């Protein structure tokens, strides 16, 4: 039996009803171009391959890769890539990519931000994440959970929280509740196009000191009177702005 490794943040899914529910939510089709991040012990891999013609999987743990190579029933239609998912260029997998995975919680946020760079070639993403991370992605402006991750994800994707998963569905059981989220990149962005480095800079700066007002946090980038001209209250805090407000700020700074 493979011993879960703490440094890879491994918690293996083992509840059959939960696995069935997740596969049903992903709703794989025979010819889908699907990629699994962190297949682990194959809890999702095997049921997905019972439907799909082929599946690509990215895995960092060599021992787990070796296990898959010993499963001839899967090996012929499974392309295994030994790599760090945070460093992969997802353009290489082609268009209409469907990404799935039970993500290690220690890399989930940077990995999702990395995947957003490839939104144009991704059809949808289904991830198992820490419930708190899903709540942050789906949060509305004006709530405590609304932050940098909410703005960045919502700019590119429709966010749907789909299914709660209790700790006992895993081995070892994590100390937190999990949730399945569906991220669907917009085919046509509902927001104006912006310079991504500038957009990221504004969002990061605004949320760098959440308790302070925007006139304080954004001081290095924009004056209070300029915020007023943009229809933004300088006394507001970062979480009170909408995604569109951040777009307006980035466009103003670009000019």
Summarised one tens digit per residue, pLDDT across range 134-144 is 999 999 999 99
pLDDT confidence of 159, banded at 50, 70, 90? very high
For residue 152, what pLDDT is reported?
98
Do 166 and 237 reside in the same domain of the chain?
Answer: no
Are 52 and 129 members of one domain?
A: yes
Q: How many domains does the chain have?
A: 2
Report the distance separating Cα 222 and Cα 6, nearest Å: 43
Question: Residue 208 belongs to what domain range?
Answer: 196-254
Query: Residue 133 maps to which CATH number?
Result: 3.40.50.150
In percent, the amount of the chain with pLDDT more than 90 equals 78
CATH for 232: 1.10.8.100
DSSP 113: H
Residues 36 and 127 in one domain: yes
Q: How confident is the model at residue 76 (pLDDT cuts 50, 70, 90)?
A: confident
Q: Are 95 and 118 contacting, i.e. CB atoms less than 8 angstroms apart?
A: no
Return d(Cα 135, Cα 107) in angstroms, integer: 17
Strands 97-102 and 122-130: parallel
167-204, pLDDT tens digit by residue?
A: 998 877 878 899 999 999 999 999 999 999 999 999 99
Dihedral (Cα; 134, 13, 107, 49), 10-degree rounding = -100
| Contact status, residue 247 vs residue 191, Cβ threshold 8 Å | yes
Residue 190 forms part of a structural domain? no
Q: Is residue 160 part of a domain?
A: yes
pTM of structure = 0.92
Q: How confident is the model at residue 2 (pLDDT cuts 50, 70, 90)?
A: very low
- Residue 38 and residue 113 in one domain: yes
């Amino acid at each position: 039996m493979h011993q879960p490794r703490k440094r890879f943040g491994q918690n293996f899914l083992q509840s059959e009803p939960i696995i069935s529910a997740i596969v049903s939510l992903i709703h794989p089709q025979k010819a889908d171009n699907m990629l699994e991040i962190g297949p682990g012990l194959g809890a999702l891999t095997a049921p997905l391959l019972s439907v799909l013609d082929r599946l690509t999987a990215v895995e960092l743990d060599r021992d787990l890769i070796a296990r898959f190579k010993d499963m001839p029933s899967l090996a012929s239609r499974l392309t295994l890539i030994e790599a760090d998912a945070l460093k992969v260029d997802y353009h290489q997998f082609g268009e209409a990519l469907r990404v799935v995975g039970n993500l290690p919680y220690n890399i989930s946020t940077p990995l999702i931000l990395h995947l957003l760079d490839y939104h144009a070639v991704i059809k949808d993403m289904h991830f198992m994440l820490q419930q708190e991370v899903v709540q942050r992605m789906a949060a509305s402006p004006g709530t405590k959970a609304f932050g940098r991750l909410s703005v960045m994800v919502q700019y590119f994707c429709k966010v749907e929280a789909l299914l709660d998963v209790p700790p006992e569905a895993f081995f070892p059981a994590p100390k937190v509740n999990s949730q399945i989220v569906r991220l669907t990149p917009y085919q046509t962005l509902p927001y104006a196009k912006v310079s991504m480095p500038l957009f990221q800079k504004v969002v990061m700066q605004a949320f760098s000191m959440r308790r302070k007002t925007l006139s304080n946090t954004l001081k290095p980038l924009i004056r209070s009177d300029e915020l007023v001209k943009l229809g933004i209250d300088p006394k507001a805090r970062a979480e009170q702005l909408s995604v569109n407000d951040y777009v307006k700020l980035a466009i103003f700074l670009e000019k």
